[in-house]
Structure 1
Amino acid sequence: MTTLAGKQGLGSIAARLERLPQSRWHVKVRCLIGAVTFFEAFDQLLSASALPVLIRDWHLSTGQATFAVTSASIGMLLGALVAGWLGDRIGRVRTVALGVIVTGAASLAVAFAPGIELFSLFRFVQGLGIGGVVPVAATYINEIARCDKRGRFVLLYEMVFPAGLAAASLVAVWVVPNLGWRAMFVLGALPVIIGALLPRKVAESPRWLLSQGRTDEAERVIARIEAEVERSVGAPLPEPGADPGAETPRGRLRDLFTGRYLRRTVVLSGLWFVAYYVNHGVSAWLPSLYTKEFGLDLTTALQYTLLSNITGLVGTFAVAMVIDRIGRRPALVAALSGTALALGVLALTGATSGLKVALFASFTTLFVYAVNAGLYLYSPELYPTANRARGAAFGGVWNRLGVILGPVTVGAILGAGGGLGLVFAQLACVAVAGAVIALFAVETKGRTLEELNA
């Protein structure tokens, strides 16, 4: 039965993946890929944790501090572009492994940087790895998930990203005051070990193998997965369901901007930009705002930052529980509207204390992290297998533009004496624009990847 099904082409591979029950194999893969994503998130937030100390010890101007924060983001933008191409060319797993090794090695180099110039250069290189890993890893997780539970499956995996951000803040509360900021970047080098092991522990996506014409290899991989799942559940696997159909055989970057994919790419790009503009416009400056604007000590500033990351984790879990029921579009509209409301109320009532900012920033991350996680689910759903990593990574380019411009704009407003009210008001306006864009999103709930791209 299994061998016959394996000879029927792309739809049959998809049908065989769709019929797999949840098992230890799914848990193993999500844990291994999740460990990678956890450390990528951990590494992404290291500059924000170190920035208050760097400003003091290296006497940084606002411009230098902004450059230190955004240098990794510029690397992430370029890394997303390259990784999208690599992910569709050499495979999901190998691309993720390569990005993790680059991230970890660069983190170790940052730890020994003698000044802001080399610090920013090595953070740029580290950003190349981070920007490449996250969208391609999300693509892989999407390709092994069943359509009826794909939202929850992917978003529970995506919880490791805000968990990594929270861990970076939690570890920084003790490490930075006691061991110094360099120790944080030494910890950030640990995922090199995972990157080296990943290709031997995680099978390549059968959907991707088949899209490359590697039919025999795809058959061997899906057969091994089926055997492992069958041993795990202790019962025969159900018969494959109806063939979900073959995808449009596309695999060129320009295909993202033609036909029905043009609308998908435009909407997705806008959502990515808005979500990360707001997210990093807030998070990149929070520790420094607490210390510089409100005179809080470093430990308190890092504890307040940790609170925001914990509420972000709660928001990601909440959206994971409902997104398969209510759909992607309603979830995105609601979360972006909540983001705008939290920031708008803070702007109107005034950022009068560090505690008040911390509370409203935490409400903001509750919603905006839900948007971010939802987009890592939504992006790969919109494109065919041969172009899926490119499509997801192109969205990542726009999120990196948001990551760059959000903190730069906030830094410019603060540098010009615009005040925190203006900072939060403009972030609220951007979130409103995102909610409007989300109204035009294509709904993907409950449909296979092949059905969405046939």
Structure 2
Amino acid sequence: MNYQKKTVVASVAGLTLEGMDIMFISFAMSMIIGQFHIGMATGGLISSITNLGMLFGGMIFGILADKFGRVKVFTYTIILFAIGTALTGLAANIEQVYIFRFIAGLGAGGEYGIGMTLVAEAWPKNKQGRASSYVSVGAQFGVILAALLSALILPAWGWRGLFFIGVIPVIFAFIVRKNLDESPEWLESKKVKQNIDKQGKLKQLFANQRTAATTIALAIMATVQIAGYNGLMIWLPSMLQQSQGLSVSGSALWTISTAVGMIIGMLTFGQFMDRLGMKRTYGIFLLASAVAVFFYSYASGSTGVLIGGAIVGFFSNGMFAGYGALISYYYPIEIRSTATNTIFNFGRALGGLSPILVGFILEHANITTAMSYLAVLYCISFMAMLSLKKNQAERKPKAVNKLSEAI
């Protein structure tokens, strides 16, 4: 297996585990709320605290990865992720759940950006869109795996059993990553003293006015991406159980249908990105997402719910596939991991508040209002995307390829 494929396999394994872990919270939410006697908004805080941990973990491990190497730092992210996942199953109260989810978030936050950076540095620019989409599909594999395991484990072992089972595959990811060589591009950059002086410095994300504007725009887009995903996936299974009378197994079927739509959307998005360019592809998917989530609130019947969920998943989370390539494109190698981890995990932390707001909306309004809120968010992201401009200071004129021409 060549180095390019190894980076994809390793990153897919990591995102599969991460996606599975996040959806464990979704399926276990009603049981956790019942056991600890908390409200829906308080339950939504579990996901928000996890995302806050991802922000800190992303910043810390992103800086370390730029300074000391991509692959080496993976070891620490996997260990933290494993510890936090296992300890969640031992939580005696909601406060301990918050603490253990924060620990898991620290590890997961570092894992995403480093994996995406490895892929970006291993693949040529005109193939980064599809390579990034292959990796992003791993998160949906995790969603499907979580749905299947939840249907089997929750009735027999309860919510704690999910997190005990969830730690086992982390061992596999640890082994895969341990056998992955360091990024050749990063190793080469270590030889340039100017690059060494800039490595892993957050202030480089705001080095000049254009870079600062780019950082802010990308942070807005990442925030909307996570807010939309969490708003949909955390609460909709529970809402469908109530509004459509679905059982846990029925809501699991909805989740699988939506995840399949997301997978197809990601693969399609990657192909579009490499052929049409980043901005054009994001524009199409953002506007389509706004329309799809709004009209999904009017879906009824099992067929409408399943097909509508797949369509919403196709557009709203298909865009997830592009963020690794998108963020990596706008920053030089010496701060690439720092930028990817910090920006996307900032989006996770802020967008992670979405389940609290959606939970509040659902308690005081209806699903149409909640979906309208998500539609507005996608329109905001569209405006932020339009503001992105190529940072000529960081690019050599002769290094033009198909991807940069499309942008």
1:430 to 364, 377, 382: 377
Q: Deviations over 1:249-284 (max 9, x none)?
A: 743211211333223212211110111111111111
How far is the alpha carbon of 1:131 from its aligned partner? 1.2
- Take 2:396 and 2:319, find their aligned partners in 1: how far apart are those partners? 22
Matching residue of 1:238 = none
Matching residue of 1:17 = none
How far is the alpha carbon of 1:353 from its aligned partner? 5.7
2:224 to 254, 274, 289: 274
How far is the alpha carbon of 1:25 from its aligned partner? 3.6
Matching residue of 1:374 = 322
- Take 2:105 and 2:351, find their aligned partners in 1: how far apart are those partners? 12
- Kept in 2, the 8 Å contact 1:267–1:440? The answer is yes
The two structures have a TM-score, normalised by structure 1, of 0.80
Q: Name the SS for the 1:284 alignment partner.
A: helix
* Unaligned stretches of 5+ residues in structure 2: 401-407
Instruction: Tell which deviates more after alignment, 431-440 or 308-317.
Output: 431-440
- Kept in 2, the 8 Å contact 1:267–1:441? The answer is yes
* Unaligned stretches of 5+ residues in structure 1: 1-22, 216-245
Matching residue of 1:8 = none
Q: Read off the aligned partner of 1:101 and give its amino acid letter.
A: I
How far is the alpha carbon of 1:74 from its aligned partner? 1.8
- 1:383 matched to 2:331: yes
Q: Name the SS for the 1:159 alignment partner.
A: helix
Q: Name the SS for the 1:314 alignment partner.
A: helix
- Take 2:197 and 2:94, find their aligned partners in 1: how far apart are those partners? 47
Matching residue of 1:53 = 31
Structure 1 pair 311/331, CA: closer, same or farther in 2 (3 Å)?
same
How far is the alpha carbon of 1:344 from its aligned partner? 2.0
- Take 1:30 and 1:397, find their aligned partners in 2: how far apart are those partners? 20
Q: Name the SS for the 2:123 alignment partner.
A: coil
Matching residue of 1:299 = 249
How far is the alpha carbon of 1:69 from its aligned partner? 3.0
Instruction: Tell which deviates more after alignment, 76-85 or 386-395.
Output: 76-85
Q: Deviations over 1:90-144 (max 9, x none)?
A: 2111222211111112111112223322222211111111111111110111111
Overall identity of the aligned pairs, in %: 24
Structure 1 pair 71/247, CA: closer, same or farther in 2 (3 Å)?
closer
- 1:338 matched to 2:288: yes
Structure 1 pair 353/449, CA: closer, same or farther in 2 (3 Å)?
farther
Q: Deviations over 1:350-408 (max 9, x none)?
A: 36567645543332221122211111221112111111111111212332134322111
- Take 2:214 and 2:197, find their aligned partners in 1: how far apart are those partners? 17
Structure 1 pair 109/144, CA: closer, same or farther in 2 (3 Å)?
same
Structure with the largest fraction of helix? 2
- Take 1:256 and 1:75, find their aligned partners in 2: how far apart are those partners? 21
- 1:81 matched to 2:59: yes
Structure 1 consecutive aligned stretches of length 4 or more whose deviation exceeds 6 Å: 246-249, 447-450
Structural RMSD (CA): 2.6
- Kept in 2, the 8 Å contact 1:71–1:120? The answer is yes
How far is the alpha carbon of 1:208 from its aligned partner? 1.5
- Take 1:451 and 1:165, find their aligned partners in 2: how far apart are those partners? 38
Q: Matches of residues 151-230 of structure 1 in structure 2 within 5 Å?
A: 151-194=129-172, 196-198=174-176, 200-213=178-191
Q: Read off the aligned partner of 2:232 and give its amino acid letter.
A: V
Alignment size in residue pairs: 395
- Kept in 2, the 8 Å contact 1:282–1:361? The answer is no
Q: Matches of residues 111-130 of structure 1 in structure 2 within 5 Å?
A: 111-130=89-108
Larger Rg: 1
Matching residue of 2:366 = 419
Q: Name the SS for the 2:317 alignment partner.
A: helix
Q: Deviations over 1:398-445 (max 9, x none)?
A: 321343221111012123x1111110111101111112222223469x
2:260 to 293, 300, 310: 310
Q: Deviations over 1:3-55 (max 9, x none)?
A: xxxxxxxxxxxxxxxxxxxx644323322332122212211221001112223
- 1:133 matched to 2:82: no
Structure 1 pair 247/86, CA: closer, same or farther in 2 (3 Å)?
closer
Instruction: Tell which deviates more after alignment, 360-369 or 191-200.
Output: 191-200
- 1:325 matched to 2:325: no
Matching residue of 1:226 = none
- Take 1:253 and 1:323, find their aligned partners in 2: how far apart are those partners? 28
1:439 to 349, 366, 386: 386
Q: Name the SS for the 2:47 alignment partner.
A: helix
Structure 1 pair 351/159, CA: closer, same or farther in 2 (3 Å)?
closer
- Kept in 1, the 8 Å contact 2:3–2:122? The answer is no
- Kept in 2, the 8 Å contact 1:135–1:376? The answer is yes
Structure 1 pair 334/128, CA: closer, same or farther in 2 (3 Å)?
same
How far is the alpha carbon of 1:248 from its aligned partner? 11
Instruction: Tell which deviates more after alignment, 298-307 or 51-60.
Output: 51-60
- Take 2:214 and 2:16, find their aligned partners in 1: how far apart are those partners? 28
- Kept in 2, the 8 Å contact 1:250–1:384? The answer is no
Matching residue of 1:62 = 40
Q: Deviations over 1:198-246 (max 9, x none)?
A: 564111112212222389xxxxxxxxxxxxxxxxxxxxxxxxxxxxxx9
- Take 1:441 and 1:409, find their aligned partners in 2: how far apart are those partners? 28
Q: Read off the aligned partner of 1:59 and give its amino acid letter.
A: H
How far is the alpha carbon of 1:172 from its aligned partner? 1.7
- Take 1:262 and 1:338, find their aligned partners in 2: how far apart are those partners? 28
- Take 2:237 and 2:229, find their aligned partners in 1: how far apart are those partners? 14
- Take 1:450 and 1:47, find their aligned partners in 2: how far apart are those partners? 48
Q: Read off the aligned partner of 1:325 and give its amino acid letter.
A: R
Structure 1 pair 50/85, CA: closer, same or farther in 2 (3 Å)?
same
Q: Name the SS for the 1:45 alignment partner.
A: helix
- Kept in 1, the 8 Å contact 2:4–2:119? The answer is no
Matching residue of 1:253 = 202
Q: Name the SS for the 2:387 alignment partner.
A: coil
Matching residue of 2:405 = none
Structure 1 pair 172/450, CA: closer, same or farther in 2 (3 Å)?
farther
